[in-house]
Amino acid sequence: MADGSQPDYDSKSEDGDNKVKVICLGDSAVGKSKLVERFLMDGYQPQQLSTFALTLFRYKTKVSNENIAVDFWDTAGQERFSSMHPSYYHQAHACILVFDTTRKITYKNLPNWFKELRQYRPEIPCLCAGNKIDVDYSITKKAFGFPKKHNMPFYFVSASDGTNVVKCFRDAIKAAVAYKNNSTDFMDEIMRELENFDLETEGEDKSDEKSDSGLDSAGDSQGKDDQATGTSTS
């Protein structure tokens, strides 16, 4: 580490904890860094990986009684170039795909990020977060087709006021640990939990007939490759 090289996530941490790596992906300025900061608040020790201009934040926790050291990786803005250095994906155990609910383009770009993720990490659990809902809470009445289509847990979040941030990151950690420990049904479990989970806002009418948000159309209609990941029955 001191030389700026990457930690090895196959081995245990210095104090014997199981180690997982969680990455955030999405366009520039969607709030990836702020979300990590919000989740960690004061309990983090950022470490600089000079070689790759990346920062990682180590967070110690427990999942089902196992001590876990989680490294959240953050970029130094490389996402501006619409793709990440392969080292960012290397050995990652879970990914949070983030978009900005106030900027459609960041939602439309999700399939591109997802595609790149799958090139490097075909199997890892992926969660989706629509950030900045504090700007306009009515956005949470809209439906977003992309996460549903890929069977990803979806969270409306706000790094500014903290809505759902802990929930989303805890689920990402659980998914990462389950993936590393070769457990199979963790996503089902998270999805089931989410079905009984409501955003704590002044939700008056919860009709089932949410129409898909107009945000969705462009990105999805041309996403032919989306189907590849959809079903695999054999």
**Residue ranges in contact with Mg ion by CB under 5 A:** 32-33
d(CA 23, CA 95): 5
Nearer to ligand GDP (CB atom), residue 134 or residue 212: 134
Burial classification of residue 17, based on how many CB atoms lie within 10 Å of its CB (0-12 exposed, 13-18 middle, 19 or more buried): middle
Regarding 101 and contact with ligand GDP (CB under 6 A), the answer is no
CB 115 within 8 A of CB 21: no
Using CB under 6 A, pick the residue from 118, 132, 150, 174 that binds ligand GDP.
Answer: 132
Nearer to ligand GDP (CB atom), residue 34 or residue 141: 34
String marking each residue 159-178 x if it binds ligand GDP according to CB under 6 A: xx------------------
Stretch that binds ligand GDP, among 59-67, 154-162, 209-217, 220-228 (CB under 6 A): 154-162
Query: What minimum distance in Å lies between the beta carbon of 32 and ligand GDP?
Result: 3
- Comparing every residue's Cβ against ligand GDP, the nearest one is 31
Query: What minimum distance in Å lies between the beta carbon of 30 and ligand GDP?
Result: 4
Query: What minimum distance in Å lies between the beta carbon of 30 and Mg ion?
Result: 9
Query: What minimum distance in Å lies between the beta carbon of 102 and Mg ion?
Result: 17
Query: What minimum distance in Å lies between the beta carbon of 162 and Mg ion?
Result: 18
